[in-house]
Every structure is written in structure tokens, then in C-alpha cells.
Amino acid sequence: GEGDEAGGGADDDGGKDDDGKDDDGDDEGDDGGDDDRSSNGGNRDSQWVSREHGGLLQIKGALLWIPPYSVSQSSQIVMERAPDTFGVWTIRFEPSGLTFNPPARLVISVRGIPSIDPARLKIAGASSGAEDWQVLGGTYDPLQGTVSIDIHHFSRYALCVE
């Protein structure tokens, strides 16, 4: 069918993708809201980010905004949501070692996390392949239901309780 490019199965329910929560910007569409941009239900996004224009990557429950002139050269950037050894999901990025000046902004949704005061949630970071987690901080936005932080380089990131 014509909708095959939207992420599989779209030819059976043609209009649903347009009516569903596929706007990628709202947290209520977390059940696969990014299907049209990735092959595995919004857990991965890959974008060409130009040095002059910066870019925006979005996955289920998180986004990364890279301002103009933040990277030293244009690059293909991958943002991926992956399970961690502790049963929490982490966010991983490629290429490893990429730096940002001015910093990029990582925003993680805190909606749907039960039994925790969201104002106590922060963002932690760890090196690739190591379990050297450190609380980096973050700012809670009660209106958006997010925690955000400026990042200067790629690492692994996850929500944590302060």
C-alpha cells in the first residue's frame, strides 16, 4: 500500500497515523508516536545535523536539541533508547566523543513514573560501556512534565532520583 513508508502495517489503517499521536512533540503519544521516523517504534532516531543549523532528535520520552554552531562539523547523529542492566532505560548517542559548544539540551519526560515526586528526578550520566554513573543535575518543568539539562558531550544518560 501507499502507507508502507510510515512504519509497517499502515496500509491496513491508512488514516490512523494522521489521527493518532504522531506529532512527536507530545508525551501523551508515547506508544509509538515516532513510528514514522524510525524502524523500531520510536526507540531510535538518526539525523544529519548541520553545523550551521543544528538539529533536533526525538525518541519515545526524550529529545535532544543541538543549537546552530554547537558541533565543529556536520555529522550523522544517532539517539537511541536502550534498556539498562538495572531495568531502567538509558539514552545512548553516536558518534561517541562528539562535543557541543554551546551545549546541546537533553529533555526527558517524567510522565508516567509512579510513586516518585517528579521534582526529585534528575539526569545522571555514564561513560559508554562503564557503570560510572554520576548525577549531573537537571531542571524539572512541571508544566511540560520534563527534566532537562545542558550537555557538552555524548555519554549515556538516564533519569535518577536525587
Using a 10 angstrom Cβ sphere, with 0-12 exposed, 13-18 middle and 19 or more buried, the burial of residue 53 is exposed
Q: What is the pLDDT of residue 26?
A: 38
Q: Which conformational region is residue 147 in: left (phi greater than 0), alpha (psi within -120 to 50 degrees), or beta?
A: beta
- Residue 102 preceded by cis peptide, ω within 30: yes
Cβ-based burial of 81 (10 A; exposed 0-12, middle 13-18, buried ≥19): buried
In this prediction, residue 138 carries a pLDDT of 96
Predicted local confidence at residue 86, as pLDDT: 64
Answer yes or no: pTM beyond 0.95: no
pLDDT in tens for each of the 162 residues of the chain?
Answer: 443 433 333 333 333 333 333 343 333 333 333 333 433 348 999 999 999 999 999 999 999 999 999 999 999 999 999 876 666 789 999 998 899 999 999 999 998 787 788 889 999 998 877 788 999 999 999 999 999 999 999 989 999 988
Provide the pLDDT for residue 87.
63
**Residues forming a β-bridge with 157:** 91, 125
The C-alpha atoms of residue 74 and residue 54 are separated, in whole angstroms, by: 8
Closest CA to 65 of 47, 81, 88: 47
Cell of 3: 502507507
Residues in the chain: 162
**What pLDDT does 118 receive?**
87
Q: What is the C-alpha to C-alpha distance for residues 131 and 126, in angstroms, rounded to an integer?
A: 6
